Amino acid sequence: MDDHSTFDPSQDPQAQHIFRKLAFISDPPQDDTQVAPLFPGYRFDLRLVAGITPIERGGQLDFFIDRPDGMKGWIINLTVDGEGQVFDGAGAFAVKPGDLLLLPPGMRHFYGRARGAEKWWHRWIYFQPRAFWKPWLDWEHCESGVFVLRDSARLRFGELFRLFAEVEKWSVLDDNLSMDLAFNRLEQILLSCARADRAVRNRTTIIDERVLAACTFITDNLHKPLGVREVSEHVCLSPSRLSHLFRKYVGAGVVQWRDAQRVQYAMQILRITNMPIKTLSQTVGYDDPLYFSRVFRKHTSLSPRAFRHRSLRATQQAATGS
C-alpha cells in the first residue's frame, strides 16, 4: 500500500459521527440512515447504500454480520483498519487494511472482527450494478465464493478510501444528480479494482470487437426496433453466435442489455424534459407506450410517470435544502 503513511483512517469524520451517535442510544435506531444499516433487520431496498462499520472489541457493533442467504444486490467491502474475519471453520480467511471483498448477490455473508484484533473498521457499498459493469465484477481470486483483491494489488489506498467516502456522501442526498455522482465514484472504484485485478492476472481480458461493435450499434440506434437479428447482421455474425459472445463478454442477453440502455436513456430524458411519455417511448424504440412502461417498471420498480414525479420532487428538495 503506497500511501498508508500519509493517511489516517481513524480520523474519518463519518466514523466519529457514528461513535457519537452510538454513545447516546441503547437500541439500534430505525430511522437513522447512517447507523440503522449497521444493525440486523435493515432493509436494503435502494439501488445504492454506503457506509462505514467501525467495529471495536466489546463495542455495540462487535458482532458477526450474518446473512445466510446473502443480499439482493452486490457488496464491495474495503478494510480500513484492524483485521476482519470472513466465514468460520475451514473456509475462514482474514482481511487486512487495503484488502477488498466483493460479494455477489445471494452469497452468504458471515464476517466480523478477527478474534485476535482490537478492531475491524470497514467501508462498504451495497449496489445494483449497471448492465455494462458486469465484466468488472469478476475478479481472479475467489475464496469460498467471495472475490478478494489484496492490498498487494497496489491500489492506492488513500484514493480508494476517499472514493468510498464520497460514494456515501453523495448517496445520502436524495436528488438524482447526487445519486449519479455516487454511481460515478462507485464506477471509478470498480474500474480501479478491475484494472488492478488484471495486473495481478498478468493478462488482459480482451472484449471481442464484434461484441463492442454490437454495443455501439445498439446505443447509437436506441430509437430503432433492433432485435438480435438486425444487430447480428450488422456485425456479420449469426444470431446464436452473437448471443453466445454477448453473454460471455457482457454478461447479459442482447435484448436485455438493449432494454437496460433504453431505460437508462429514458431516465435521463424524464429527469430533464417534459416530453410526453408516448413520444418518449418512441424515442427509446417502443411503439407501444404500455409495453415501454412495463419494461421501465421492470428495471426501476416505478412507472415512467412516477419516476418523473419522484425526480422532480427530489430536485426541488435539493434546491430548497429541505
Instruction: Verify binding: residue 95, ligand FCB, rule CB under 6 A.
Output: no
Grid cell in block for residue 236: 456479420
Instruction: Verify binding: residue 153, ligand FCB, rule CB under 6 A.
Output: no
Grid cell in block for residue 20: 457519537
For the CB of residue 217, give the shortest distance to ligand FCB in the complex, in Å.
38
For the CB of residue 294, give the shortest distance to ligand FCB in the complex, in Å.
31
d(CA 52, CA 307): 29
d(CA 291, CA 77): 38
Stretch that binds ligand FCB, among 14-22, 120-128, 259-267, 273-281 (CB under 6 A): 120-128
Instruction: Verify binding: residue 65, ligand FCB, rule CB under 6 A.
Output: yes
For the CB of residue 35, give the shortest distance to ligand FCB in the complex, in Å.
10
Binding test (CB under 6 A) with ligand FCB, winner from 22, 35, 75, 284: 75
Closest alpha carbon to 131 in 263, 229, 223, 224:
263
Query: Which residue in this structure is represented by grid cell 430505525?
Result: 30
The count of chain residues that interact with ligand FCB, using the rule CB under 6 A, is 9
d(CA 235, CA 242): 9
d(CA 160, CA 195): 13
Binding test (CB under 6 A) with ligand FCB, winner from 1, 38, 153, 245: 38
Binding test (CB under 6 A) with ligand FCB, winner from 126, 161, 286, 307: 126
User: Could you give the residue ranges of the DSSP H alpha helices within 221-303?
Assistant: 228-234, 239-250, 254-272, 277-283, 289-300
Residue placing its CB nearer to ligand FCB in the complex, 127 or 307: 127
Instruction: Verify binding: residue 167, ligand FCB, rule CB under 6 A.
Output: no
Beta-bridge partner residues of 120:
55, 82
Contact residues: ligand FCB, CB under 6 A: 37-38, 53, 65, 75, 109, 122, 124, 126
